[in-house]
Structures are given as structure tokens and as C-alpha cells.
């Protein structure tokens, strides 16, 4: 190989090195830009960290499902994503999760039906509740108490509104009555004024002079007094007859018992009975037990 050929080869190698250097610089710039965009720094591995790739793969092989295992043990469904989803778009990402879950459920449902496996919960199945019956009873009582409080508050509000409405109606009625009374008084005054202007006298205003043809006023019962009939007797003397025997009994009882009246203080001491010591003490003793000790 000649010297010229060696020189050309050296130039080509230098050009290749320059291209590689420019590419590495561009990559380093892009990496620096991406690092600037990332606000959170990745945690640096510790000095005692061990990266055993072969051990990790061996452990993954131990815990992974075998290839010949039945599908009923895994129940895994793979869904192919039709188009790429922007992971930074929250709405599109969550919609993709929802679509995949819905499609996977549909495929698993059809596959289980084809296999004839029971997978739906029976109607008479009762699962154990997470919370106890005592706790749920407390929750129920609290909800019922809150509902009762709301109903009572509503009833009180309605009662206040009804009371307010009743007061308004009552005040309106009172105003109407006062207005009616005022109108009536005004009409009476107007009527009296018209009578005075027309020449009628005001004799016995408000009184009625009822006289009959003979010039005598009306009297109850014709004005006749019947013997043996009290003025308040409406039976006209046809009531229960009184005999002399009854009169004698009445006189005897009146003389013995009096004519009634207040008897509650008949046995109460007065100043005279308190200062009267002539009667002495009954039984020879002022009081105490009447039994004598032997």
C-alpha cells in the first residue's frame, strides 16, 4: 500500500470520528434537555446495591405461571390497543383503561359461557359483610334520627308559616270589622241628621213607647195577681201542693238546725271561749293519753 492510500484512509477515519463526535454531542444535548425537563431526580443506587440479572430471571421463572397451565387458573385476557395513547393526557389515558377493562370483561364472559363454568353469583348467596350488624344498626339509627330532625324542622317551619298567615288573616278581619263598624256609625249619624233636617223630634231617642188602645203598657200575665202563686212560679199554681204538715216539719227543722249558712267555724275558739275556764277540763286531765299506767 502506498503513502497516498494511507493518507486517504487516515482522512476517512478522521471524518468518521468527527461524525461520531457530533452525534454524541447531539445525544448529550438532547439528554441534557430531557434531564432539564424532568423535575424529580432519580434515586441513585447505593454502594451496596447488587444487580444480579441471572438471579432475577431465575426467580421470575420460579414464580411465573407454567405455559401448559389451564386458563381457568389464570383468567388473563390480553387486549390489543388499536392506537397509541398519550400518557400525559389524563382523560385519554383513563378512557383507554376503561375500554380495555370493558373489552376484557366481555371476552372473559363469552369464554366462560362457552366452557359452561358457573361464574355468576347465585340468587341465594349471602356474602359476609365487612361491617358488623351492630355498626350498621348504629348507622341506620343515626340516619333515621337525622331524617326525623329534618321532618321536625319542616313541621316547625310550616307551623310558623301557618301562624304568620293566621295573624295576617286575623288582622285583615279586624280591619274589615272596624271599617264596617265605622261605616255603620257614619250611616246612623247621617240618618239622624236627615231626621233633624226633616223636622222629626228626638223624643226618647233609643226608647220605644209601646202603648195599646186602652193607654196601658204591656204587662206580663195580664197584670193579674193570683192568690197562692209566687211571682216566679211558671206553672200557674199547678205545681206541688203544700200542706200544713209539711209546714210544721219545716218549722221544726228550722228551729233545730237553723236556716243554713256557714258552719265550718262552729267549733273554732274565740276570745270568749279561750278565756272561759268555768267549764274546767274533761276527765280531770289537760290532755295526753286517757289510759292510766298500772
2/233: higher pLDDT: 233
Q: What is the pLDDT of residue 232?
A: 60
> What are the residue boundaries of the structural domains of the chain, listed by start?
57-120, 131-196
Q: What is the pLDDT of residue 70?
A: 87
Question: Per-residue confidence at 231, pLDDT binned at 50, 70, 90?
Answer: low
Could you tell me which of 98, 105, 99 has the C-alpha nearest to residue 77?
Answer: 105
Look over the chain and give the mean of its residue pLDDT values, rounded to a whole number: 75
Query: Which of 43-57, 73-87, 150-164, 212-226 has the largest mean confidence?
Result: 150-164
137-151 mean pLDDT: 95
**Least confident span in 7-16, 155-164, 223-232, 238-247:** 7-16
Instruction: Tell me the longest C-alpha to C-alpha distance in the chain.
Output: 187
- Please answer whether residues 79 and 100 qualify as being in contact, where contact means their C-beta atoms are separated by less than 8 angstroms: yes
65/40: higher pLDDT: 65
Question: Per-residue confidence at 239, pLDDT binned at 50, 70, 90?
Answer: low
Q: What is the pLDDT of residue 292?
A: 52
Amino acid at each position: 500500500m502506498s503513502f497516498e492510500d494511507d493518507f486517504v484512509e487516515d482522512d476517512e477515519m478522521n471524518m468518521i470520528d468527527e461524525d461520531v463526535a457530533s452525534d454524541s454531542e447531539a445525544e448529550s444535548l438532547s439528554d441534557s434537555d430531557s434531564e432539564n425537563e424532568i423535575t424529580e431526580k432519580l434515586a441513585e443506587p447505593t454502594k451496596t446495591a447488587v444487580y444480579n440479572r441471572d438471579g432475577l430471571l431465575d426467580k421470575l421463572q420460579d414464580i411465573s405461571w407454567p405455559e401448559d397451565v389451564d386458563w381457568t387458573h389464570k383468567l388473563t385476557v390480553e387486549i390489543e390497543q388499536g392506537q397509541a395513547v398519550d400518557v400525559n393526557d389524563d382523560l385519554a389515558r383513563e378512557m383507554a383503561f376503561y375500554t380495555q377493562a370493558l373489552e376484557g370483561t366481555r371476552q372473559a364472559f363469552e369464554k366462560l359461557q362457552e366452557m359452561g363454568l358457573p361464574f355468576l353469583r347465585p340468587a341465594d348467596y349471602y356474602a359476609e359483610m365487612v361491617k358488623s350488624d351492630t355498626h350498621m344498626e348504629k348507622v341506620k339509627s343515626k340516619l333515621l334520627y337525622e331524617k326525623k330532625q329534618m321532618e321536625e324542622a319542616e313541621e316547625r317551619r310550616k307551623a310558623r308559616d301557618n301562624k304568620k298567615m293566621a295573624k295576617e288573616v286575623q288582622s285583615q278581619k279586624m280591619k274589615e270589622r272596624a271599617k264596617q263598624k265605622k261605616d255603620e256609625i257614619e250611616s246612623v249619624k247621617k240618618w239622624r241628621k236627615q231626621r233633624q233636617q226633616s223636622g222629626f223630634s228626638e223624643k226618647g231617642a233609643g226608647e220605644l213607647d209601646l202603648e195599646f188602645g186602652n193607654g196601658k203598657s204591656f204587662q206580663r200575665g195580664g197584670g193579674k195577681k193570683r192568690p197562692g202563686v209566687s211571682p216566679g212560679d211558671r206553672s200557674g199554681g199547678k205545681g206541688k201542693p203544700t200542706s200544713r204538715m209539711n209546714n210544721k216539719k219545716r218549722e221544726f227543722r228550722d228551729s233545730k238546725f237553723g236556716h243554713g249558712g256557714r258552719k265550718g267555724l262552729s267549733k273554732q275558739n274565740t276570745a270568749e271561749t279561750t278565756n272561759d275556764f268555768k267549764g274546767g277540763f274533761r276527765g280531770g286531765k289537760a290532755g295526753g293519753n286517757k289510759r292510766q299506767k298500772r
